[in-house]
A = this chain, B = another copy of it.
Amino acid sequence: MTAVVPDFLPEGIDSPDDFSQLDAWWRAANYLAVGQIYLLDNPLLLQPLRAEHVKSRLIGHWGSVPGVTLTYAHLNRVIMREQISMLFVLGPGHAAAALNAASWLEGTYSERWPDVGRDTAGLRALFRQFSFPGGVPSHASAHVPGSIHEGGELGYSLAHATGAALDNPELIVACMVGDGEAETGPLATSWQAPRFLDPSSDGAVLPILHLNGYKIANPTVLSRIPSGDLLALMNGYGWEPIEVSGSDPAQVHSAYAAALDFAVDRIREIRQEDAAGRGPRNPRWPMIVLRTPKGWTGPDKVDGVQIEGSWRAHQVPITDVRGRPEHLHMLDEWMRTYRLEELFEPNGAPAAAIADWHPGGQLRMSANPVAHGQRQRDLRLPSVADHCIEVTTPGSEFAESTRTLGTYLRDALALNRDAKNLLYFSPDEQASNRLDAVFDVTERRWCAEILPGDDHLSRSGRVLEVLSEHLCQGWLEGYLLTGRHGVFSTYEAFAHVVDSMVAQHAKWLHTASEIPWRRTIPSLNYLLTSHVWRQDQNGSSHQDPGFIDHVLSKRPEVARVYLPPDANTLLYVMDQCLRSSGLVNVVVAGKQPALQYLDGPAAREHCEQGLGVWRWASTDSGYAPDVVLACAGDVPTQETLAAAEILRDMVPDIRIRVVNVVDLARLFPPDVHSHGISDDEYTDIFGDTLPVVFAFHGYPWLIHRIMYRRPGHENFHVHGFRENGTTTTPFDMCALNGLDRYHLALAALEHIPALAGRMGDFRQYLLELLAQNRAHTRATGEDLPEIAEWTVTPEPEPTRSK
C-alpha cells in the first residue's frame, strides 16, 4: 500500500519532520497496549522478558489497536493546533488497550485511577489489570476516562456519536467505525446522520471508517469492494469521504494529518457558511476512510504464518509465550521495536518528548467534560397537577392517556428550550401515539428537503423521528451519556428491536454507578404505547408485551417498569422518570380512549405508593375479603373493575378487594429489588392465604417470576397475554387470552370455596355472556356496546351491616 495524499490539500501541510513527536507518542501508545495484553511484570523491560513476567491467560485484541492509537495521536495533533473540543467514540471497542494507553499518556487515567500512576508501579498496574480477574475488561467500558461507549457489542458507535453531537454546537465527535462493525444493520443505517444534524445547533460528527481489512476470520465487506463503490456509498449517505491509506508510517502521517486538517477546516467552513446563511440546507460533512494494516507494527510472521495485515492479527498475535522460549523472545523483540528507551523515563513516567505532547486540561479527549456528564443540568419540569385531567367519578369517562401526557411533554420542552437538554425520539409515531401536543412548541428534526404539505418539519426540531428503533435508541443513548434528557416513545411489540441495546445500556449504567468519578446520567425513559391489548389495526405481529420481561432481567438497581392505569397516573410516573437518573424506566400506557380513574391527588398518592388497594372499587371494608382482584396495566384494570361489578351483581354478599399495581418492582421481595415492599406490607395488601386473581398487562409468568418467594404465592392466579394474538376487537383480544371481565369473574368465583356448589350456573352464565360478544363481533366487527362503552357504576355507600 502507498499513502494516498488527497489532492485538495490545504496550504501549509506539515512537513514529515513535524511528526517525530506524534510518532513517538504513537509508539508509546502501541507499546502500552502490547504491555496490557501480555505483561504481569517487568513493564519497562528492564530485564529480558522471562516467562513469569507474562500472563498465563493471554487475552485481548491487538488487531485494531495500532489504527486506534494512530487516530488518537492525529486527532490530538489537530486539537492542539486548533484548540477545539473533541469527543472520541471508539467503535472497535475491543481495542480498549489502545484507549487505556492513550488516557494514561494524557494523564487522565492516573487522575481518575490514582492506583495506576504515571510511574513503574502504575505501568505494572495498568498492564496487570487488563483482562484480569478483578481488573478491567478487554473492551472499552465505563472505566475508561473520556469514553461514553460500551465497546462490547458492535454496531452503535456512530449512533452514539450522533446523539452526543446533538445540541453540542461547539463539539466535534470523532467516531472510529470498525469495518467489521460496519457490516451490522444499526451501523449501516447510522450513516444517515447528516440528514438529521443541524449545523447551527448541533456538533459535528467526524466518522473515521477504519478499513484494516479483517474481522475474526474473514475479510470485511467494505475493505473488499471496489474503492469507487465505497466512495459512492459514503457520498450517497451524504458525506464527503477523504481517503488515507498506507503502511509506511511517515507517508501515512503526512496523509492523515492533511486529511484531518482538511476535515476540520471543512467543518469550520460549513459552520461559518451556515452562520452567515450561505450554506446549503443539508451540508455534506467530511469523513475519513482510513486503510492501514491489521496489527500494524506487530510481528510480521509467527511460526512462518503471516500475522501483520491478516485476520490472524485479530487477537493475540504471539501465543503460548510462557511455554515457548522462541515466542517469548519474539515478544521481547517486538516490544523493543517501539524504542521504549525514547518513550519512558527510568521511573516509568512518559519521557519528556511525549509527556506533554497532548492537549491540555479538558481539551484532552479523555477528559472532555461532555463525556462524564459534568455539564448536565436537571430538567425544569412543569407542575403535574396543572396537567391532570378532571376525574369526578372513577371510571366514568374516557380519555386518551398519552394525549394528556403530550401536553406535559410539550410544556417540559418549552421550559427547557434555552437549556437545550431535552429531546424526544420516536420511529415516526409521535403523533400516532397522540403526543402531538409537542408540535405546538417544536417540530420534527429534518435536514433533508422539505416540501409543501410536510407536517412540522424543521432543521432545529426537538423531536427526532426516523423509522429505525436502533437509531432512536442509539441517538438517545448518546444524548443521555453526555448528560442530557429524553424520552423514546415506541410500539410496545417493536421495542424488542432494541433488546440487545437496552441490555448493554443497563450494564453500562450499573458499571458506571460503581465508578466514583462518573456522575450519574439521566435515565433512559421509554414510553411503550400502541400496546398488546389495543392493536385494533394490526394482528399478532404487533402483539408482544415481553420487553418488560427483558428489562427486568437486568440488574434491579437500574431497572424499573411502570404500568399506569390512566392519564393522571401516567403523568406522575413520567414526571418521576424525568427527574430520575441512572435508570432504565419503562412506562407502558395506551393511546386509545380509555376509562379514567384517579384525580390528581389520588393519582399522586397512588404513584408514590406504587401499588395499593382501591377502596372505592372494593367491597371488603373492615373485613378480610373473599378474593383479591389485582391488576396492572390500563386494559387489565378496566377488565378487573368490570369483573368486580359483575361479581357484585351475581353474588351481592361477596367481599372483594381491588388492588392496582403501578410500579411492578414493588412486588419483588425487598432483598431482590430496592422498590420491593416488605412481606408485612405485602400481606396487608394481598393476604397470605387469600385467593388472588391478578389481571396483568404482560405475560403471566412475569408476575410469578417476581413473586414466587412471596407468602401465599401458590394462591396467585395470573391472567395475562397467552400469546393468543390476532386481528380483532379490543374486548375479543382480552377474551382470547382469558383476561376479560368474564374470565376474571369466573376465576374469582372458582377460588371462593363457599361458592363451589353454584359454580355450574356461574360458569354457564358467564360463558354465555362471552359467547354473545363473540357472535356480535364476528357479525359486526365491533364489541357489544355494553362492553365497549362500559363505565364503572359507583358502589353506593356501604350498606352491608355485618
Contact = CB atoms under 8 A, between A and B. Distances in A.
A215 B540 CA distance: 21
Interface in A197-216: 215-216
A323 to B, nearest CB: 14
Contacts of A782: 56-57
A537 B444 CA distance: 43
Contacts of A539: 136-139, 141, 152
A224 B141 CA distance: 38
Contacts of A235: 229, 232-233, 236
Interface stretch (A342-350, A447-455, A643-651, A792-800): A447-455
A237 interface: yes
A221 interface: yes
Nearest to A728: B133
A428 interface: yes
Contacts of A184: 185, 189, 467-470
Interface in A674-711: 699, 701-702, 704-705, 708
B224 A59 contact: no
Given A181-B467, A449-B224, A554-B723, A428 B232 contact: no
A549 B431 CA distance: 33
Contacts of A55: 781
A337 B236 CA distance: 40
21 contacts: A59-B536, A137-B541, A137-B727, A138-B538, A139-B538, A154-B467, A185-B187, A188-B188, A188-B192, A189-B189, A224-B448, A225-B238, A233-B236, A310-B453, A311-B455, A496-B550, A497-B499, A549-B553, A704-B704, A704-B705, A705-B705
Contact of A185 (B219, B468, B732): B468
A131 B237 contact: no
A363 interface: no
Taking residues whose C-beta sits less than 8 angstroms from the other chain, chain A's interface range is: 35 or more
Given A217-B430, A554-B723, A189 B195 contact: no
Interface string A740-782: 0000000000000000000000000000000000000110111
A613 interface: no
A697 to B, nearest CB: 14
Interface stretch (A1-9, A500-508, A571-579): A500-508
Interface string A229-257: 11111111110000000000000000000
Contacts of A183: 189, 192, 466-468, 471
Contacts of A555: 723
A729 B133 CA distance: 7
Which 3 pairs of residues, A with B, have the shortest CB-CB distance?
A152-B541, A233-B236, A137-B539
A476 to B, nearest CB: 15
A432 interface: yes
B185 A470 contact: yes
Contact of A221 (B448, B453, B553): B448
A360 interface: no
A546 interface: yes
A438 B77 CA distance: 48
B546 A777 contact: no
A234 to B, nearest CB: 7
A725 to B, nearest CB: 7
A751 to B, nearest CB: 15
A93 to B, nearest CB: 8
A397 interface: no
What secondary structure prevails in chain A residues at the interface with B?
A: loop
A622 interface: no
Residue of A187, A454, A537, A554 ringed by the most chain B CB atoms within 10 A = A537
B541 A471 contact: no
A797 to B, nearest CB: 39
A153 interface: yes
Contact of A180 (B190, B467, B503, B537): B467
Nearest to A778: B134
Nearest to A544: B503
A597 interface: no
Nearest to A774: B133
A306 B500 CA distance: 41
Contacts of A726: 133, 137
A202 B167 CA distance: 48
B454 A219 contact: yes
A279 interface: no
A141 B543 CA distance: 14
A511 interface: yes
Given A137-B726, A188-B188, 17 more contacts: A139-B541, A152-B539, A153-B493, A183-B466, A187-B189, A188-B191, A215-B428, A217-B428, A224-B451, A232-B233, A311-B453, A493-B500, A496-B550, A549-B549, A553-B723, A704-B704, A714-B714
A272 interface: no
A220 B493 CA distance: 22
A713 B716 CA distance: 14
A218 B449 CA distance: 12
Contacts of A599: none
B541 A133 contact: no
A452 to B, nearest CB: 9
A334 interface: no
A173 to B, nearest CB: 20
Contact of A778 (B133, B432, B497, B723): B133
A465 interface: yes
Contact of A236 (B141, B234, B702, B708): B234
B448 A219 contact: yes
A429 B315 CA distance: 14
A712 to B, nearest CB: 11
A778 B133 CA distance: 6
Contacts of A113: none
A221 to B, nearest CB: 5
A542 interface: yes
A398 interface: no
A446 interface: yes
A566 interface: no
A727 B726 CA distance: 44
Contacts of A150: 541
Contacts of A504: 541
A132 interface: yes
A156 to B, nearest CB: 10
A777 B55 CA distance: 12
A219 B137 CA distance: 43
A472 B282 CA distance: 34
A790 interface: no
A225 B541 contact: no
A117 interface: no
Contacts of A725: 507
A553 B191 CA distance: 34
A136 to B, nearest CB: 7
Interface string A276-310: 00000010000000000000000000000010011
Interface string A476-508: 000000000000000001101101100110010
Contacts of A232: 232-233, 235-236
Given A133-B729, A186-B185, A466 B56 contact: no
Residue of A184, A185, A780 ringed by the most chain B CB atoms within 10 A = A185
